[in-house]
Amino acid sequence: MATTEAGGRDSAAPGPGQTLFAFVRHWSRRWHGPAGAELAERGREVLVVEAVHALSGRPPVTVNDVAAELAVDQSGASRLIAHAAERGSLAVTPAPADGRRRSVALTPDGEELLRAAHVWQEEVFAALTEGWTRAERTAFHRGMTRLLAGSARRGHGD
């Protein structure tokens, strides 16, 4: 028999932390759209383009910076970057301060890919929250923003 915790939550039901991580696991596998090898490939390209964009406020962006942003090893980041560069979304050049390192930047095609990805992300959010009030959407957005800020303060993200 389930018990009720202080605050009225059923102790047999997943708590908010479990729900958060279930949400993250769900979307980490689906964020690139419907299944398919081409779309999955495009999804990885968007992932690395978004990482480079997130880091672009502190150029030059290096392969190691991207690896840290994505929480992958340097060789994994290097493969993702090489693939996105082959597709024209990223430019890879020797780093200005140290020619042994590589600097990574968005190309105009990468910026367009990023804009298209952000449009798609907003469309998905709108579809998932269909039937929600504007206040509910705003409160959820505010809560997610606060979670991200709290994660960054604790060193768990950007």
What CATH number should be reported for the domain holding residue 61?
Answer: 1.10.10.10
Strands annotated E in the chain: 61-62, 90-94, 102-106
Residue 21 in domain = no
* Inside any domain, residue 48: yes
User: Is residue 98, in this structure, part of any structural domain at all?
Assistant: yes
3-state DSSP percent of the chain in helix, strand and coil, to 5: 60, 10, 30
| Residue 51 located in a structural domain | yes
**Domain presence at residue 142:** yes
**Per the domain annotation, does 26 fall within a domain?**
no
Q: Identify the domain containing residue 70 by its residue range.
A: 35-153
Per-residue pLDDT tens digits for 21-72: 888 777 766 655 555 556 667 788 999 999 999 999 877 899 999 999 998 9
Q: Is there a domain that residue 129 lies in? A: yes
Q: How confident is the model at residue 158 (pLDDT cuts 50, 70, 90)?
A: very low
CB atoms within 10 A of CB 32: 19
User: Is position 10 within any domain?
Assistant: no
Work out how many domains the chain is built from and give that number: 1
Which one, of 48, 69, 60, lies nearest residue 94 by Cα? 60
Structure tokens at 60: 């030059």
